[in-house]
Amino acid sequence: MPDSPILPTHVSPRLLARRKAFTRLIAAIALTVHLPAALGAAGLLRALGMAHAMALGSAWAAAMSALFVMQARRSLPDHRRSPVAVALVEIPIWIETCAALFAFLPSVLATAAVLGFQLACRAPLRAPLTLCLATYVVGLVLAAYGTLVRRRRVRVVRRHVRLSSLDPRLDGLCIAHLSDLHIGTLTPKAWGLAWARETMRHAPDCVFVTGDLITTGCDFLDDAAQVVGALHAPLGVFVSMGNHDHMGDVRALHAKLAHAGARILRNEGVVVEHRGAQLWIAAVDDTWTNRADLERALAGRPHPMTTLLLSHDPGVFDHPACVTVDLVASGHTHAGQIAVPFAVHAANLSRITTAYSAGIYRRGRSTLYVSPGLGTTGPPLRIGAAPEITLLVLRGP
């Protein structure tokens, strides 16, 4: 497939129709999740003695939904926007919408239970406005924490990975693994440069960056390249492409990354020497756009040797050819961005769509590590699923 941008400068009628359908879908979702928030606002206004409390609460919820829809449309693709406007307008809108989303399910369940009890008791039907308000306030606290605090607190995790066929001379090799940077309006270059400085503080032998360097569009290609360019290691910096990297000019991104000193591997591999031992470092291109070719990435191995594979999508671990790969480094899932604290591996939102959500998985001689990543997509928040720089230390059996 050609590597031309998937965001055309000319908007076709078909694409315009898709955008309109997307807008209608987002509007319907936003209005639906704001229903409990509208009830909670009405309860608060009524408690304050204001007339037409329900109408005012509904109008407020509709206005917040409309603001979110306009913001969502404006951010696709991701263009440079005023940092002041982002901090004072966009982030608060995201926090409010996430709060409404958090409050929706418990409010609906509680309302159904209360109304059912009232029906059973033949009591007058009254929606639990105070309860709806309470769940919405709790949602605001959680969303503010996840957006303003948790997603900015990056942790560095050192994991010793035992490989049964590791050349003894490679024992102790340290790989810094970064994934899902998503450099853009909501994840600025300054954050990425701070991640790079923290990575370099641990002096890894090599660096893997497993895709999704940007979110969408072409405005932040230079920023992403500068972040990757701030990474360096004796054995090199290796990059694979993710699905979001193809939501713009992937050729330009490739060229900028190469100019910054990174080695971009797209269905190919290279021999790297360390302490007199050789290993094969390879990567596949994006699976979501059907560009991944694992056989091609492994075909160049001159003879059996320790093999390390970069793949943005951890789903490649199910490919039969992975039985000859010692370590697969992946990302893509963000560990769901929302997870149960202290049980991230077992309980996070990405478990709904994949068996490989976060952490280490093993099959035969092969090991997969799925990074929670560093940036975010969609809601710019993390709860439980901390952003992570991983230090993978290879160990023999």
Query: What pLDDT is stored for residue 127 in this prediction?
Result: 78
Distance CA 270, CA 277 (A): 14
Query: What pLDDT is stored for residue 49 in this prediction?
Result: 86
Burial class (CB in 10 A: 0-12, 13-18, 19+), 86: middle
- Is the previous residue joined to 314 through a cis bond, with omega within 30 degrees of 0? no
Q: The tokens of 120 are what?
A: 């059973």
Q: The tokens of 358 are what?
A: 């976060």
Query: What pLDDT is stored for residue 382 in this prediction?
Result: 96
Query: What pLDDT is stored for residue 304 in this prediction?
Result: 81
- End-to-end CA distance of the chain: give it in Å, rounded: 41
pTM, to two decimals: 0.90
**Closest residue by Cα to residue 91 from 23, 135, 149:** 149
Query: What pLDDT is stored for residue 7 in this prediction?
Result: 45
Q: The tokens of 96 are what?
A: 């409010």
* Helices marked H in the chain: 13-33, 35-47, 53-74, 83-85, 91-120, 129-148, 189-200, 221-229, 250-259, 294-299
Q: The tokens of 287 are what?
A: 């699976």
Contacts of 123 (CB under 8 A, 6+ apart): 117
Per-position DSSP letters for 129-190, written without gaps between them:
HHHHHHHHHHHHHHHHHHHHTGGG--EEEEEEEE-TT--GGGTT-EEEEE----BSSSS-HH
Q: What are the structural domains of the chain?
A: 13-148 (no CATH), 155-395 (3.60.21.10)
**Closest residue by Cα to residue 328 from 300, 295, 370:** 370
Mean pLDDT by 10 residues, the chain (397 residues): 45 65 84 89 86 89 91 86 93 95 90 86 82 91 96 96 93 98 96 98 98 95 98 97 93 96 96 94 94 94 90 96 95 94 85 92 95 95 96 94
In Å, how far are 18, 113, 114, 125, 154 from 118, measured between CA atoms? 44, 9, 6, 6, 48
Question: For residues 182 and 152, is the Cβ–Cβ distance under 8 A?
Answer: no
Query: What pLDDT is stored for residue 98 in this prediction?
Result: 94
